[in-house]
Amino acid sequence: MDEDTVLGSHIEDEEIDIDELDGLDIVRSAVRLEGVSRTFKLGKRRIEALRQVTLDVKPGEFVVISGHSGSGKTTLLNIIGAIDVASEGRVIVMDVPIGDYDETFRSNFRLQNTGFIFQSYNLISTLTALENVMFPMQLSTKPIGELTHDAQVLLTTVGLEERFDHLPWQLSSGEQQRVAIARAMANDPPIILADEPTANLDEDSAEMVRSLLRQLNAKGKAVIVMTHDLDIIHTESARHLKMSNGELI
Ligand SMILES: Nc1ncnc2c1ncn2[C@@H]1O[C@H](COP(=O)(O)OP(=O)(O)OP(=O)(O)O)[C@@H](O)[C@H]1O
Ligand SMILES: [Mg+2]
């Protein structure tokens, strides 16, 4: 009997005690932040970009966070994505306290667990669309032919089957963002992080990006989006939070 079947019958038969599940492949939180602060020092100035942020995002949840410019949205996303480190507090991603580990661990962990989508796409300008999508697959032990095929499937999923060999400057803004979404999906990570993903796009491209984010969520990914885009904020399944002056309210 496989583990799912064991788990399924366990859940049906009796009230589940979450503490008994230790050791089984169940993740309690996709992201858990406990009293997270981030202070930047610029000369003699201290900028408190995040103040005591507490957040719990369950696997498969859709969370939308909005807030004024400078309120700390990008800083928060960078910390969840292990690109930056909290000055204070605990950051737990997929039940792993990532702040307890070194940069090498965090960078490998990031590749496996989080897909990032940025406002300005952040594609590597010297790599083709296909190579950009393959970039996060660098830790995979699969043969290169298989990885290439996987990346082609991902680009096809976002409607770019005719653009494999285009360099970023040979793509429209909307196409670049779709390459970025395919790249975010590269290792099939359980968490998708998006920082104002529709801010630089025309309405048709923005709608395509919204739809792809919703599809990823429907496939069970936890999606955390920083945005002012009312269409994303009003996503039926979304939980909407606001950031103000480094605090999550
Ligand atoms: N590396 C850094 N060094 C110093 N200050 C920083 C750094 N990164 C961010 N800040 C400051 O932290 C605060 C929060 O910045 P952040 O980029 O997180 O805001 P944001 O909500 O994403 O804004 P926007 O909507 O304009 O993207 C700002 O006051 C910013 O100037
Ligand atoms: Mg920002």
pLDDT more than 70, % of the chain: 90
Ligand 1 pocket check for 8: Cβ under 6 Å: no
pLDDT on residue 16: 46
- Asked if residue 75 has its Cβ within 6 Å of ligand 1, the reply is yes
Q: How far apart are CA 121 and CA 116, in angstroms?
A: 9
Does residue 32 belong to any structural domain of this protein? no
Structural domain range at position 136: 59-84+100-248
Report which of residues 49 and 236 the model is more confident about.
Answer: 49
- Asked if residue 141 has its Cβ within 6 Å of ligand 1, the reply is no
Assigned domain for 194 exists: yes
The answer to whether the CB of 189 falls within 8 A of the CB of 115 is yes
Flag whether 1 is in a domain: no
pLDDT the model gives residue 17: 53
Domain CATH code at residue 188: 3.40.50.300
pLDDT greater than 50 at residue 9? no
pLDDT at residue 20 tops 60: no
**Ligand 1 atom closest to Cα of residue 72:** 18
**In degrees rounded to 5, what are phi and psi of residue 17?**
-100, 110
Nearest protein Cα to ligand 1, atom 2 = 40
Q: How far is the CA of 203 from the centre of ligand 2 (A)?
A: 21
- Confidence grade of residue 137 (pLDDT, cut at 50, 70, 90): very high
pLDDT at 154: 95
Whether residue 227 has its Cβ less than 6 Å from ligand 1: no
In DSSP notation, 61-118 reads -EEEEEE-TTSSHHHHHHHHTTSS--SEEEEEETTEEGGGS-HHHHHHHHHHHEEEE-
Q: Is the CB of 246 under 6 A from ligand 1?
A: no
Measured from the alpha carbon of residue 195, the closest ligand is 2
pLDDT for residue 24 is more than 70: no
The finding on whether 79 has its CB within 6 A of some atom of ligand 1 is no
d(CA 72, ligand 1 centre) in Å: 6
* Inside any domain, residue 53: no
From 9-18, 77-86, 234-243, the region with the lowest mean pLDDT: 9-18
Structurally, the chain folds into a number of domains equal to: 1
More confident residue, 236 or 10: 236
Which amino acid is present at 233? I
Tell me, yes or no, whether 5 lies in a domain. no
pLDDT for the residue 10: 37
59-108 pLDDT, tens digit per residue, is 999 999 999 999 999 999 999 999 999 999 999 999 999 989 999 999 99
Q: Is residue 235 part of a domain?
A: yes
Cα angle 75, 50, 104; round to 5: 50
| Tens digit of each residue's pLDDT (9 = 90 or more) over 139-148 | 899 999 999 9
Measuring from atom 6 of ligand 1, which residue has the nearest CA? Answer: 40
Give 175-228 pLDDT, tens digit per residue: 999 999 999 999 999 999 999 999 988 999 899 899 999 999 999 999 999 999
- Name the pLDDT band for 25 (thresholds 50, 70, 90): low
- % of the chain beyond a pLDDT of 90: 81
Cα of 22 vs centre of ligand 2, distance in Å, is 37
Residue 187 lies in a domain: yes
CA of 245 relative to ligand 1 center, distance in Å? 10
Decide if 154 is inside a domain. Answer: yes
Q: Indicate the pTM of the whole model.
A: 0.88
